[in-house]
Chain A
Amino acid sequence: MFNAKAIKKDFPILSRKIGGEELVYLDNGATTQKPKKVIDSLVSYYENNNANVHRGVHTLSEEATNMYEHARKQVADFINALPSEIIFTSGTTESLNIVAYAWAEKNIKKGDVILATISEHHSNFIPWQMCAKRVGAVLELVNITEDGLLDMADLKSKLNSNVKLIAISHASNVLGTIFPIKEICKLAKQHDIKVSVDGAQGIPHLKVDVKSLGCDFYSFSGHKMLGPTGIGVLFIKKDILETLEPYKYGGGMIEKVSVDESSWTIAPERFEAGTPNVADAIGLGSAIEYLESIGLDVIRNHEIDLIEHALPKLSGISGLKIMGPLNSKDRSGLIAFSIEGLHGHDVAAVLNTKGIAVRSGHHCTMPLHKKMNIAASIRASFYIYNSTEDIDTLVDGIEYAINILRS
């Protein structure tokens, strides 16, 4: 039986107080807290195994290399990929930029089209905007319907031989919408279009199988799935990976170097120039072990329970408007909303006085907020340690904030 309160005990930070109040952490879309197991894995690595990886013949280097490559295997197994298809990066943003520089810039030509949506996070928007400018391509946006879903008819109407890439998030960081990646990939294949998925808000909440999804690129961050900051992943499908040139140069990625020229080793090392982030990759492996010990299906069901508890309670608050779909089936574990006449920062600051951590602002989606005519929304994002009581505390907090802020 899943018990969020028992799970909460695995996270040291969740027992601290904020201004004398119990911490109610509802900013998991920004970053999740870390279980003791992950923190311990970092400490243990630095205390027992730390060395630079690859090439070293001494014991510590052997151990560090094995642990780093084991983490890569854990990530690969977690998303049903090959270890050689896993490139460690600093996070989703770097992963997406690598797709833009190493693949898109070489394969997208003048007059070609990149498709994205208006709800993309800036990190899955600006790289394509800039790439399009550099190569003379066009960035086109697929509509989002009134109820926050991807407009499939609009997507279908925009698919043609000029489209070379669809860049879309697995789940929106504001609307919460889970986008139908499998269906999108199926459509894309019919037109020989590549699909790059921003999985930052997807993989912490949904079981991801890149083979089953059929995507060509899948990017995500460790820190949004209980892992450390500074480590991310870029999955690139094998047949594409083999055609890619490196996008950065340095140690660890070469086959041979002479005064006049250099050649590159095979993937994934070809894309990991410089000393990699060994400790945090190991920490991410530890986070994956923790998530698997609970089960991604169990996590998803728990979040559905939380969403179903929260949606009617939040909707019942006068003047509160929920952004995105109004059912749990189409939603990942977050709810963003605006409150008539109140500014998001003010509501968040009042909630903070009650120990409740939520995010306010445009959440790095300025085009979406402009379109919806909202300056700063409020976002509560849940994870495995949140309970229905946390949501009740949030609802009480919002009512308190409205009470003191409204004239």
Chain B
Amino acid sequence: MDSFYQEDLLEMYKHPQHKGTLVGATVSISKENTMCGDTVTLDLNIKDGIITDAKFGGESCLVSVVATDLFLEEIIGKSIDHAKSLTKEDLLNLLKLNLTTSRVKCATLILGAFNDAIKKYEENV
């Protein structure tokens, strides 16, 4: 469990690269983790099928913040199709943490938010 709070992850948690909001974002969404009441907000800018920028906000735990930041780092500049192809396992691999069952939900909150955002985007295109 000590690896949970190793320096690099703590650093990422304290200073996430992709935290914030995008003014005039193509699509915005808010998603709640019903297990604990945490919320993540997600803003995406999309142009010609490419996710040109992404920012997240909300109130959530270290596991959720770090997983979200890593996920956004992975999808920015890539196609929607690539981002959609990323699975729960891919995300957990990015995180390189041995999570207990209850914390997997913290890590994957962003996947639910991203799927909701893309659904909303595709319905409006």
Contacts and interface: CB of A to CB of B under 8 A. Distances in A.
Interface of A: 19, 343-346, 349-350, 352-353, 360-362, 366, 369-370, 375-376, 404-405, 407
Interface string B30-59: 000001111100000000000000000001
Given A19-B2, A405-B10, 12 more contacts: A19-B1, A343-B61, A343-B62, A346-B61, A346-B63, A349-B5, A350-B5, A353-B2, A353-B4, A362-B36, A375-B60, A404-B5
Nearest to B60: A343
B53 to A, nearest CB: 24
A349 B1 contact: yes
Contact of A353 (B5, B14, B35, B59): B5
Interface string B82-119: 00000000000000000000010010000000000000
A361 B1 CA distance: 19
B78 interface: no
A144 B35 CA distance: 24
B35 to A, nearest CB: 7
Interface string B1-26: 11011000010011100000000000
20 contacts: A19-B1, A343-B60, A343-B62, A344-B61, A345-B61, A345-B62, A345-B63, A346-B61, A346-B62, A349-B1, A349-B103, A350-B5, A353-B5, A375-B37, A375-B59, A376-B38, A404-B5, A404-B10, A405-B62, A407-B15
Question: Is chain A's interface secondary structure helix, strand, loop, or mixed overall?
Answer: helix
B37 A366 contact: yes
A346 B14 CA distance: 13
Contact of A345 (B1, B5, B14, B106): B106
A361 B37 contact: yes
Contact of B36 (A19, A350, A376, A404): A376
Contacts of B61: 343-346, 376
A-B pairs, top 9 by smallest CB distance, nearest first, are A343-B61, A407-B14, A345-B61, A361-B36, A346-B62, A362-B37, A375-B59, A353-B1, A375-B37
Contacts of B62: 343, 345-346, 349, 405
B14 to A, nearest CB: 4
A361 B10 contact: no
B19 to A, nearest CB: 12
A375 B34 CA distance: 11
Contacts of B63: 345-346
A349 B36 contact: no
Contacts of B35: 361
B62 to A, nearest CB: 5
A352 B1 contact: yes
A344 B106 CA distance: 12
B2 to A, nearest CB: 6
Contacts of A405: 5, 10, 13, 62
A369 B5 contact: no
A159 to B, nearest CB: 32
Contact of B37 (A352, A369, A407): A369
Nearest to A406: B14
Given A350-B5, A353-B1, A407-B15, A345 B39 contact: no
A343 B39 CA distance: 12
Contacts of B10: 404-405
Nearest to A19: B1
A375 B1 contact: no
Contacts of A345: 36, 61-63, 103, 106
Contacts of A404: 5, 10
Nearest to B38: A375
